[in-house]
Structure 1
Amino acid sequence: MKIEIWSDVACPWCFIGKRRFETALNAFPHKDSVEVQWRSYQLDPTLPEHYDGTELDYLVERKGMDRAQLMGMLGHVKEAAEGEGLHYKFDGVVVANSFNAHQLIHLAAAHGTSDAVKEALLSAHFEHGADIGNRDELVSIGTQAGLSAVDINEALDTDKYAADVRHDFAEARALGVTGVPFFVLDRKYGISGAQPADVFAQALEQAWLEANPLTMVNANGADSAEACGPDGCAI
């Protein structure tokens, strides 16, 4: 079973959604048969490589949102994150364009380490105040996750994975994705948002049963055998 997850490194609910999904996946009996693919999405492609201001300033100035309302909203998100063992520090978040971070994730996917790099980027951005638009920060995050600094610099110098990132954007539009995180199971089921772990668990079970239906085996060609049901037992 394949699960594609569209998300943005700059999305606070995406990290929370990752944790809740992982809780469900880790309890899923067929976990080893599940392939997870991280897909790219940008909440604001127009952001400069670096924005001078806090997360709150950015949302007020660029999105026109009310400061007092935003403070309450960020408090709610922070509380939800704490519930998943995450420690957001919105006052220290560096607002930056996430395009190159997405290229780094695609590079990591080519080396089989996309989940580790995705995790490191989200944690660096929301918990440690790292600038995900800064080349040196991306190299540091990537190398700590096992990638080569030479490969990272080459990929970013040449925009090696830019087309793949943009392809993910186009796929999201084609699927009607308007917000993230967004989970797609076997291209049949979609889950929008950082849903509770039990919602992910139910979806995993449903998708698995549909992809792997139970086949009945009748011994000796018999249509039925002795069994008990709601109306009693066969004699």
Structure 2
Amino acid sequence: MKINVFADTICGWCFIGHRNLNAALRKFPEVKFDIKHIPFQLNPDMPTEGISRDKYLEIKFGGKDYAAPMYENMRLKGNASDINLNLDKIKKIPNTVLSHLLIILSEQFNLQNEIKEEIYQSYFIDGLDIGDINILVDIAKANKIAENIFKDFINEKNIELINSKLSTAKEKNINGVPFFEIGKDFISGAQSLIQLENVIKANLI
């Protein structure tokens, strides 16, 4: 079964959706899934070096206090998926192009699920800057992807590939993530394990 997952690596709801999808897939050990990560950028105009989280919250929500209810809801939903989101540890909102490139590269090694998990954990649990190439190199090396292979992958052609994938989302009128294409069905948002399981079941009939 083919599953496309549109997600951004700084999207907490995407992390929750990632965890819930993995839990749902484990319910079907006899099914072969072909899962593709489709890059999405919540902030396509983000500077390459990123911006401070405080400034981001000011621009996006009018300040930290206005964002608090949404982030509290995210934290509670994260807990339900066994994720302890440490949002206060995040000091910078990065540009996510490099992290998307690492995930796309990792597909060649069948490591995309592991790499996505580590990128999410690095950002949402450890508060690391996943726009920093050195952080991403460490994640790559921890998964036996050599530093030179990753750095060679960061080139104009592959950055253009990321941009083309972003265009795909626009063409499909996908304005928010996570967004799942599961078989013939489409499902938006950080759906629960049961909801994802039911969509998978429906596409097995």
Fold in common (TM above 0.5): yes
Contact 1:16 1:80 (8 Å CA) reproduced: yes
Alignment partner, residue 227 of structure 1: none
Alignment partner, residue 44 of structure 1: 43
- Which among 141, 147, 150 is matched to residue 152 of structure 1? 150
3-state DSSP class of the match of 1:208? coil
Question: With structure 1 as the length reference, what TM-score do the two structures score?
Answer: 0.82
Distance 1:82 1:116 in 2: 20
Q: Which amino acid in 2 is paired with 1:51?
A: G
Q: Which amino acid in 2 is paired with 1:86?
A: I
Alignment partner, residue 136 of structure 1: 134
Alignment partner, residue 197 of structure 1: 193
Alignment partner, residue 122 of structure 1: 120
Are residue 100 (structure 1) and residue 98 (structure 2) matched? yes
Alignment partner, residue 57 of structure 2: 59
Distance 1:57 1:15 in 2: 23
Task: Calculate the aligned-residue CA RMSD, in Å.
Answer: 1.6
Alignment partner, residue 11 of structure 2: 11
Contact 2:103 2:115 (8 Å CA) reproduced: yes
3-state DSSP class of the match of 2:204? helix
The 3 A distance-change label for structure 1 pair 146 and 12 is: same
The 3 A distance-change label for structure 1 pair 67 and 150 is: closer
Identity in percent:
25
Greater RCO between the two (CA within 8 Å, min separation 6)? Answer: 2
Are residue 173 (structure 1) and residue 166 (structure 2) matched? no
Distance 1:46 1:120 in 2: 25
- CA deviations on 1:50-102 (whole Å, 9 max, x unpaired) are 33422x54122x22435323112211211211221112111111311001111
The 3 A distance-change label for structure 1 pair 52 and 38 is: closer
Distance 2:82 2:61 in 1: 31
Are residue 89 (structure 1) and residue 86 (structure 2) matched? yes
Contact 1:51 1:96 (8 Å CA) reproduced: yes
Question: With structure 2 as the length reference, what TM-score do the two structures score?
Answer: 0.93
Q: How does 1:192-231 map to 2 (within 5 A)?
A: 192-209=188-205
The 3 A distance-change label for structure 1 pair 51 and 170 is: closer
**Number of matched pairs:** 204
Distance 1:140 1:167 in 2: 27
Contact 1:104 1:142 (8 Å CA) reproduced: yes
- CA deviations on 1:169-201 (whole Å, 9 max, x unpaired) are 121112221100000023x21000011111111
Distance 1:38 1:51 in 2: 22
Are residue 161 (structure 1) and residue 158 (structure 2) matched? yes
The 3 A distance-change label for structure 1 pair 134 and 66 is: closer
Distance 2:170 2:113 in 1: 23
Distance 1:117 1:180 in 2: 19
3-state DSSP class of the match of 1:176? coil
